[in-house]
A and B are shown apart, each in its own frame.
Chain A
Amino acid sequence: MTGYLSLEIRRGVRNGRFLGLVVAWPVAAYLLFSAVFAKQPASQGLSPKVEIMVAMAAFGAMGSVLMATGPGLAAERRSGWLRQLALTPLDRGKMLACRVVAALVLTLPAIVLTLVAAAVVQGVQLPLWEWPAMVVVMGLGCLPFAAIGVVVGCLAGGEGAAGVTMALYLVLAVLGGLWVPAKILPGPLRALCAALPSNGVARLGWRLAAGAAPQVEAVLLLAGWLVATAAVAALASRRVVLAR
């Protein structure tokens, strides 16, 4: 089982398209936005360069998890590999657990490099313990996205999965307030924004950057999303092996 997990992590790290998309994109976006909005006033007690750092780290992390689960599972379902794997002692539940853990591990490049860019290029300074805490909290906060990725991988056709994943990625990121601050969204969208898991992940990071304890609402929001998406994933995953 650890062999499967480590092989899946290695596959992710070697995948150039994956790294280009979910690592280079948030880092590049951070460098751009943090320079453009440098003169904006602080919000939530955070300077723009910190606020945007957290938003882009969350953006990269959720993208890593979505990309590491959905498209791969869909392709392997179509190629018959998942069927072959189901005929080894690694059952479906363990297989999916490995994929989720691998996806969480694969959030590391995006989060770490975004934080490094912030520290090195924009001179962001945080108490030392907050850096690793940020990596762990935002990474774990992406668990609901892993369940969403499993659902996409189990239900979408092999070709469709990449498109569906990309659409979900962008919609959840934009409406979740990662690209534009929630406060400039129109009223109804603002309520939606606060209810999305992408916003929950960012809120965990913003609070941490402000030196405050995690926001209970954000934790509950993500827990609720996790329960709901994991339930759907459990149902959808029956198709992984049985569907022809």
Chain B
Amino acid sequence: MSTMSGNPQGPPAVVLAGVAKSFGPVRAVAGITMTVNLGETVALLGPNGAGKSTTISLLLGLLRPDQGRVELFGGPPDEAVAAGRVGVMLQDGGLLAGVRVVELLTMLAGLYAEPLSIEAVVAMAQLEGLEGRRTDRLSGGQAQRLRVAVALIGNPDLLVIDEPTAAMDVEARRRFWRMMHEQAGHGRTILFSTHYLEEADEYADRIIVLGGGKIVADAAPGVVKASLGAKVVRFVAHGAEETELARLPGVLSVEVRGSRVVLRTGDAEASVRAALQAWSDLTDLEVVGAGLEDAFVALTS
């Protein structure tokens, strides 16, 4: 039943084992194995098309995997959903039109064995004063807060949130994460997807990085941030040896093709300064601030 999952015993909230899913020739998810433990807040980070939404659909049972196994709380997703243990905020999750906010929440509360009270959920989602408003007359931000309330009303053990802040302005985003932080404090397990490294870094206990339908990294935020925050330095230097290049300060990886060198570095200035000293004939210097997309490419290659 729907107990707050501060309890560290019991099976993990989410297990994906070798899960794969294709749409026609497109391999959206190409073999993902991951675990989300009870009480954890985990971010699924990746650029558009990395397979985040498909992964979330798979773990909720909205899609059946071609291969692999999906478990929520040690059982099939359908059972966890039927037991009311999962609260979901989908990117394309609509609201029922033609009803008042309080009517919608009351109806939903009636579907769960141990729902939160309407007052509590209205307060959590900052919907005070909007209870009597029709759902189709809410502003974008208000509708988004109602989606938060819809996800919370069943008092779920696991909250799954797909790209919650994609359409939010800065203030709304801050407000949203304050709400979620409070929910994590209540012992709920939270899995959210995002393409903002900052968001994942700030709010997750752990970041799982997806790229091309695969897990590229699964680590603490600091580790992922350092690796994704790297820059790419390219130049041409005759006679530069791979071993020498790798010893330059800050360098994470080295690629040499003839006289063309590509470095990934956590400290571009130091690497470049040292490289200029070592190879005075160095030409065609280029430093690329690895955007998230570039960083993913770097991580996946």
Contacts and interface: CB of A to CB of B under 8 A. Distances in A.
Interface of A: 1-4, 7, 10-11, 14-15, 75-76, 78-84, 86-91, 241-242
B99 interface: yes
A4 B104 CA distance: 9
A91 B99 contact: no
B90 A90 contact: no
B219 interface: no
23 contacts: A3-B106, A3-B109, A4-B107, A4-B111, A7-B103, A7-B104, A11-B98, A15-B98, A75-B97, A76-B94, A79-B94, A79-B95, A79-B97, A80-B92, A87-B60, A87-B81, A87-B88, A88-B112, A89-B83, A89-B84, A89-B113, A90-B111, A242-B63
A109 to B, nearest CB: 17
- Provide the main secondary structure of the chain A interface: helix
Contacts of B112: 88-89
Interface in B279-299: none
Nearest to B154: A88
Q: Say which size band chain B's interface belongs to.
A: 20 to 34
B150 interface: yes
A81 B81 CA distance: 16
Nearest to B95: A81
B94 A87 contact: no
- Provide the main secondary structure of the chain B interface: loop
Interface in B6-48: none
B222 to A, nearest CB: 33
B111 A86 contact: no
B137 to A, nearest CB: 14
B239 interface: no
Closest 10 CB pairs of A and B: A79-B94, A3-B110, A80-B94, A81-B94, A84-B93, A80-B92, A3-B107, A87-B88, A7-B107, A89-B84
A81 B107 CA distance: 14
Nearest to B81: A87
A82 B92 CA distance: 11
Nearest to A5: B107
B111 A1 contact: yes
A83 B90 contact: yes
Given A4-B107, A79-B95, A242 B84 contact: no
A15 B63 CA distance: 34
Contacts of B150: 84
A242 B62 contact: yes
B98 A14 contact: yes
B86 to A, nearest CB: 7
B220 interface: no
B226 interface: no
A86 B61 CA distance: 10
A4 B106 CA distance: 9
A90 B112 CA distance: 9
Name which of A1, A3, A91 has the most chain B CB atoms within 10 A of its CB: A3
Contacts of A84: 88, 90, 93-95, 150
A89 B98 contact: no
Nearest to B78: A91
Nearest to B60: A87
A91 B88 contact: no
B51 to A, nearest CB: 14
Contacts of A78: 94
A88 B63 contact: no
A78 B92 CA distance: 9
Contact of A89 (B94, B95, B96, B111): B111
Name which of A78, A90, A241 has the most chain B CB atoms within 10 A of its CB: A90
B79 to A, nearest CB: 10
B170 interface: no
